[in-house]
Amino acid sequence: DSGDSVSEPREWRPVIYRKCTDALWLLLFFLFWAGLMFVTGYALMAGAAERLVLGYDSFGNICGRKNTPVKGAPLSGQDMTNKKYVFFLNSCSLEMQSLKISSLSLCVSSCPQEQLNSLEDLQSFARNNGSCLCVYNLNISSYTLDPKAAELCPTLPVPPSKSFPLFNRCVPQSPECYSKYASVLIRMVNEMDVFHRILSGILAGRDTVIGLSVLALAFCFIVVLAFRFIRTLLVHILIALVVFGLLFVSGVLWWLYYDYRNDPSTELETEKENVKFLLGYAIFSTIVTVVLLSLILILRKRLQFTVQLFQIVGKIIGRIPFLLFQPLWTFLILIVFWVFWVAVLLSLGTAGTAQTTSGGQVEYRAVSGICYMAWYHFLGLIWTSEFILACQQMTIAGAVVTCYFNRNKSSPPSHPVLSSISVLFCYHLGTAIKGSFLITILRIPRIVLLYLYNVLKQKESACAKCLFKCCFCWFWCQEICLRHFNQHAYTTTAINGTNFCTSAKDAVYILAKSSAKLASITCLGDFTLFLGKVFVVCFTVFGGLMAFNYHRELQAWVVPLLLIGFFAYVMSHSFLSVFEVTLDAMFLCFAIDMETNDGSAEKPYFVDQELLVNSNDNSK
């Protein structure tokens, strides 16, 4: 096949009879997912995400749910559905040993709101509120009669307490006990690894994360409608909102950094991490703002041509209206996969074996090798997400190619989207897998560099920091270029039915022969679409800043905010990729049309006359 492609000129037409491309990569992807299924099964068997979310007592019972018995622990396996809070028997004299609080803990239905001074008060509180503060095997009527009640009940007096929002613990409110309790809790959280602190932050703000995801989805719909029915006024409004969003988000980030840095109550490691991340966000946001504002000023004179360009793209999408629904299915598939991925991650983070002690209590010991499984799981997140996006790109490109190379523009092919999906799944899944794997490979060095930067940042070497940042930026630029390269390779595969490498070679050949003016048109359209993505991310992050800023206690909320920003960008990229892929595929087809045809009666152009006229006007 390769020899024929060199000796004979390429016939640039959508082929009817195809063969499977890059089948070996499809097999490799199946094997990789077999490994992911093994990690998932192990995480579900060994992990218990509820322990991180709900808390648990000293006997292995998770608060707020039914439990299964643990061998050797007679007080395990109880129904704690109505007992949602963790209560420490000696909350005023806590000690911590190896990340474990030494006090006996119980699941209770409510925390004592008033001080309890005697066993009679404990008995009265249990009868009136249904919340037993003594060990489970001690009957309420025996609180004042059993000689061992002083050992099985909390240390008197029991201070008033209220539930803590993150770990569902009863926190004492008296100044003496609270200071002791807080110091132990601060030590425990600070000595936790970053992985568990981030999980705690995500779980604590899970309602906010879900709400912000819905907000990002709403912004995506607004931007898609704006580009579908684009007019000059809408472009001005979009640019004004992007400028406002960039300036406002940068200002809010600098203000929050200043506020956190000068807050005297910043003791927890999570709060110190928030300050560091806020500084990084503020610097990055400021740089992006300056660069984008400069580009907007430079390109402002070509605004009218941008409107005409997207009106042509809108005309093509109008012939294939179901293309606008393609990102919705992609988004739903991504959401299902991300929910699955987070659930497995939480299970991995809490994977441990229950071991009983001599007193019938239960301790959870971490399982070795979890770190390697987490990295493998993280690789699955990147590769699978990129594969899903690649499938969407190939579907859109296939539909656009089918309509472009159709002589009768007034009668487009029937069901081009369904036809493109069937061709993808029958023949070209391996090509999408290979292209997404290349992006994954480029992302791995960036992640490793970021990890090494965090490990070595204590050395305070300015030269090393600069080198790390330059390498990080270089890999990021390579990834952006590879994405555009992959898109043209997918479009060429949709046309000729060739494998990834052959398609990439053919795409580079035809684009290299096209004029620089044609490339500038594509870059202008891509930049306008990028502004739409910036709009979605800016206003979603702004909503996250306002929401998370009101929940500072013990939350590494800056990392969940980064996750929200990433999700907002992926969602906006998924939705706006309809226009982006349509634009790139249209101009690749246009370059092929100009290369293989001359407009004569024997070789007429496939191109729409409106696009041909606008392209010639822009070239003048």
Segment 501-552, tens digit of pLDDT: 989 888 888 877 765 656 666 777 777 788 788 888 878 877 777 776 655 5
Q: What is the DSSP letter of 268?
A: S
Output 311 or 158, whichever has higher pLDDT: 158
Over 90: is that where the pLDDT of 184 sits?
no
d(Cα 88, Cα 76) in Å, to the nearest integer?
Answer: 17
Task: Please report which confidence band the pLDDT of residue 2 belongs to, taking 50, 70 and 90 as the band edges.
Answer: very low
Of 263-267, 291-295, 316-320, 455-459, the one with minimum mean pLDDT is 263-267
Cβ-Cβ contacts under 8 Å for 294 (sequence gap 6 or more): none
CA distances from 308 to 227, 232, 312 (A): 11, 9, 6
Task: Please report which confidence band the pLDDT of residue 149 belongs to, taking 50, 70 and 90 as the band edges.
Answer: confident
pLDDT at residue 438, as a whole number: 92
Task: Please report which confidence band the pLDDT of residue 102 belongs to, taking 50, 70 and 90 as the band edges.
Answer: low
Contact 492, 503 (CB under 8 A): yes
Query: Any idea which residue has 């809070």 for tokens?
Result: 85
Average confidence (pLDDT) over 589-617: 69
Average confidence (pLDDT) over 219-226: 79
d(Cα 365, Cα 378) in Å, to the nearest integer?
Answer: 23
Q: Output the average pLDDT for the chain.
A: 77
Contact 439, 484 (CB under 8 A): no
Q: What is the pTM assigned to this prediction?
A: 0.69
365: β partners: 353
Over 50: is that where the pLDDT of 4 sits?
no
pLDDT at residue 179, as a whole number: 60
d(Cα 118, Cα 356) in Å, to the nearest integer?
Answer: 31
Domain ranges of the chain: 50-189, 192-354+363-618
pLDDT at residue 7, as a whole number: 40
Closest by Cα among 366, 342, 352 to 48: 352
Average confidence (pLDDT) over 98-123: 82
Contact 467, 455 (CB under 8 A): no
Over 80: is that where the pLDDT of 109 sits?
yes
Output 441 or 165, whichever has higher pLDDT: 441
Task: Please report which confidence band the pLDDT of residue 425 belongs to, taking 50, 70 and 90 as the band edges.
Answer: very high
Task: Please report which confidence band the pLDDT of residue 596 belongs to, taking 50, 70 and 90 as the band edges.
Answer: confident
Average confidence (pLDDT) over 401-418: 77
pLDDT at residue 431, as a whole number: 94
Cβ-Cβ contacts under 8 Å for 322 (sequence gap 6 or more): 417
- Dmax over CA atoms of the chain, in Å, equals 107
d(Cα 574, Cα 386) in Å, to the nearest integer?
Answer: 11
d(Cα 303, Cα 558) in Å, to the nearest integer?
Answer: 36
Q: Determine the distance from the C-alpha atom of residue 28 to the mean position of all C-alpha atoms in its chain, rounded to a whole number.
A: 25
Of 73-77, 266-270, 425-429, the one with minimum mean pLDDT is 266-270
Q: Determine the distance from the C-alpha atom of residue 136 to the mean position of all C-alpha atoms in its chain, rounded to a whole number.
A: 42
Average confidence (pLDDT) over 422-435: 92
Over 80: is that where the pLDDT of 138 sits?
yes
User: What are the pLDDT digits (tens) for 258-284?
Assistant: 777 776 555 555 556 667 767 777 787
d(Cα 522, Cα 519) in Å, to the nearest integer?
Answer: 5
